[in-house]
A and B are shown apart, each in its own frame.
Chain A
Amino acid sequence: DVKVTQSSRYLVKRTGEKVFLECVQDMDHENMFWYRQDPGLGLRLIYFSYDVKMKEKGDIPEGYSVSREKKERFSLILESASTNQTSMYLCASSSFRQQMNTEAFFGQGTRLTVV
């Protein structure tokens, strides 16, 4: 019963390409998040969205943009991929109920290599 699905497990792109990472959740969650994870740096929040068409910058938004046209889908866009964007990208979703943010569910991750 997969709940958060990322479109690719592994991805190799060339420098300068426009890259789309897709994330879909089937739990009707309000919140969706994109992170990158690099050795020794933990998970760093890139962008998050708390509603359709709503987005807020995380801690490292530079070089990225996002799109949330439908509640179940949250896309991360690398406008012009660079080698320093080689990383593991993780998507997550969570709900907001009874004035509380509940547990988050994560996708399996996309390991992106930019060459």
Chain B
Amino acid sequence: SQQGEEDPQALSIQEGENATMNCSYKTSINNLQWYRQNSGRGLVHLILIRSNEREKHSGRLRVTLDTSKKSSSLLITASRAADTASYFCAPIRGGGGNKLTFGTGTQLKVEL
């Protein structure tokens, strides 16, 4: 299966703390993408990391990729209540005509 599996399923932290969520996958990939979904809405793309990259930053987001372990992590630093959402990873294989599949996500709750 191409889809990623996010861990933990749920995470509750206090505002200002860091949040780390993990993604494991099974196939070789071309890139891996992270998405956020606010309640009842469509997903929003956060960050894309290519298979030849090990780490990438975007604002308060830091993504790492370990292709030897087939895993990725998403770190949100100095979390805010507005970061409360579900987070999904999507491992993408190379070539065209590829499925874009998701797991069940990590539900992050940031409390004031």
Contacts and interface: CB of A to CB of B under 8 A. Distances in A.
Interface of A: 4, 30-31, 33, 35, 40-43, 45, 48, 50-51, 54, 56, 58-59, 88, 90, 92, 94, 96, 99-109, 111
B100 A105 contact: no
B69 interface: no
A42 B103 contact: yes
Contacts of A33: 99-100
A109 B97 CA distance: 23
B42 A40 contact: no
Interface of A is mostly: strand
Interface of B is mostly: loop
A103 B42 CA distance: 14
Interface of B: 30-31, 33, 35, 40-45, 48, 50, 88, 90, 92, 94-105
Contact of A42 (B41, B44, B97, B102): B102
